[in-house]
Structure 1
Amino acid sequence: MKHVFIGALAMTGAMLAAGSTAYAEPAKPECLAGAKPGGGFDLTCRLAANALLTTKIISKPMAVTYMEGGVGAVAYNHIISKRASDKNMIAAASTGSALLIAQGKFGKYDESAVRWLGALGTDYGVLVVAADSPYKNLQELITAYKSSPADFAIAGGGAVGSQDWMKGSLLAKNAGQDPKQMRYVALEGGGAVLTALEGGHVKVGAGDAAEMSKHHVAGKVRILAVMAPERLPGDLKDVATAREQGVDIDWPVWRGYYVGKDVSDEDYKWWVDAFTKMAQTPEFAQEREARGLYAYTEVGEAFDKQVKIDVARFKTLAQEAGM
């Protein structure tokens, strides 16, 4: 394992009020990122670590520890088996974690093996074509795909069964085609997807809004649909959602956290209150936006319920896709 510390100076403030009782902040706050430095889990840990310190909710820097393996599976099992009652440690998670749990790829443990703490931001799935593609909207793409699915190679930054694969499968499903027959090209990240699109090697890319938006604005690719319940602000304000185009697809990519199953109710509440207070500050909004995330805050029991709803939904989608 590797670890680094976020922030150079300790700040004041040692307690966070929780109703009428003040629970002590964790003595050695730590965030576990289930991958190498630089990826989405790292981003998620650093978001919490920077914002908690900047807003003075914690008085000492939060360590970020890296434990790669199984796209978060090794870290998940570590929390359950070694740190189940450790109030100091939170772990990073994402929509992809829920998808992998739904497919049984986190081993013998399911979504009830930890306490889901909260989500502090989100991205959204997108479907993208090359700038010179003849398809101007999602319905045109669906119609073309339906008539000749073998002509459409769809690239994503992940293997079969990943989030990008699932986004492509939703296109196939809405075109009345079998997702298992989809010509999916598994690439290493969104950058490779963009290169494949620009080079004409694939006709469609599945990815995330934050990663693709600047290339859309630059005219290098065209985002046909955002998988969000409503239009996104900023650079993508003129891009219609899938729902607006008559296709009932949402794919939020939340960035969240969990703690061990045996963390006490009092310590769990401390973290819930900390996230709630932090999320209301302008400092946190700046940290979130700097990481290309959109506003989405869900904490405590509400988030725990949402994760379990997501896992159930992904199980259904995976079954429909033949996974």
Structure 2
Amino acid sequence: MTSGIAQAGPLDKTECIAPAKPGGGFDLTCKLAQTGLLNGKFISDPMRVTYMPGGIGAVAYNTVVAQRPAENNTIVAFSGGSLLNLAQGKFGRYKETDVRWVAGVGTDYGAVIVAEKSPIKSLQDLVAAIKADPTKVVFGAGGTVGSQDWMKAALTAKAAGLDPRKMRFVAFEGGGEASTALQGGHVQVYSGDASEAEEQIKAGAKIRVIAVLADKRLKGKMADVPTAKEQGMDVEWPIIRGFYVGPKVSDADYKVWVDTFNKMMATPEFAKLRAERGLFPFSMTGAELDAYIKQRVGVYRKVAGDLGLNVTK
């Protein structure tokens, strides 16, 4: 009798590893694939989501590369934060070349946020306030020095002509805490995410987005918010979400995943699912995504180095 396991294809008994506890962005990314693949009948059984927290993706990355490199039915969620950590060497000895990048399925963008009653109405106002008295403009963000939110604050400060190492910065556990501090007047600016801000405003938060860190204006409720570039600051911060597989997955099985994601992302049903989860359109797979990832990690490496952080060679 032929072993069923040897014959199993990449879309049989699928698993998505979310490199964090349930409820966060990685979980959202896995659930997006789980729902999209099942509803589109690309898989016959529901995809299993397993949680592997640690180091914003570091534990999962190391596990897949070192212990599970050839599992053809396992995909792992990643985010722009994962790429930033790779650039800073926070994934240990492994680099962006050590896995096979399958698909980018959606994106969010950085946003510069103030309290609704703040006198700061634009990035020009922010620059003026910083120049008038840097001690009175406190940046808040989810995460410590070197995190995505810190980087967004540092790049905004740098573009405003302020030494990022001299900016007043308060680290919070997450976006909810930072938003509360902003509304309470404990910080004046919060460098968060556009979709997160949209959800918070919907829930009644008294905050206002003064800039999105995208290459062009976003659609929907953020359509009236100008980009940083429109306001004279060359700062972009896309936060893509997607999946990779282990380095020893065969070319044939890798191609099955790439082709399946291409078909799924081309459907209007998937576009609706993505929008429901607060993500903006971004669809990229295979070799094109691999080149994009390497380019982004290179950008993060340079930015982190310029800001005095450790980076990988």
Is it true that 1:320 corresponds to 2:302 in the alignment?
no
Choose from 71, 85, 92 the match for 1:86: 71
Q: How far apart, in 1, do the equivalents of 2:93 and 2:133 lie?
A: 40
Map residues 116-127 of structure 1 onto 2, 5 A cutoff. Answer: 116-127=101-112
Map residues 210-229 of structure 1 onto 2, 5 A cutoff. Answer: 210-216=195-201, 220-229=206-215
> Which moves more between the two structures, 180-189 or 45-54?
180-189
Partner of 1:46: 31
Q: How far apart, in 2, do the equivalents of 1:255 and 1:63 lie?
A: 18
Is it true that 1:29 corresponds to 2:14 in the alignment?
yes
Map residues 1-323 of structure 1 onto 2, 5 A cutoff. Answer: 24-216=9-201, 220-323=206-309
Q: Deviations over 1:135-159 (max 9, x none)?
A: 1111221222134222211111111
- Name the amino acid aligned to 2:179: L
Q: How far apart, in 2, do the equivalents of 1:149 and 1:315 lie?
A: 27
Q: How far apart, in 2, do the equivalents of 1:316 and 1:150 lie?
A: 28
Q: TM-score, normalised by structure 1?
A: 0.90
Q: TM-score, normalised by structure 2?
A: 0.93
Q: Is 1:128–1:222's contact at 8 Å kept on the other side of the alignment?
A: yes
Q: Is 2:86–2:95's contact at 8 Å kept on the other side of the alignment?
A: yes
Identity of matched residues, %: 52
SS of equivalent residue, structure 2 residue 97: helix
Q: Is 1:125–1:252's contact at 8 Å kept on the other side of the alignment?
A: yes
- Name the amino acid aligned to 2:277: R
Q: Which runs of 5+ in 1 are unaligned?
A: 1-22
Displacement after TM superposition at 1:214 (Å): 4.2
When the two chains are superposed, the root-mean-square deviation of aligned CA atoms in Å is 1.4
Q: Deviations over 1:140-193 (max 9, x none)?
A: 212221342222111111111110000000121112222112211110111111
Q: Deviations over 1:220-279 (max 9, x none)?
A: 111110011111111111111111111111111111111111111100000000000000
> Which moves more between the two structures, 212-221 or 188-197?
212-221
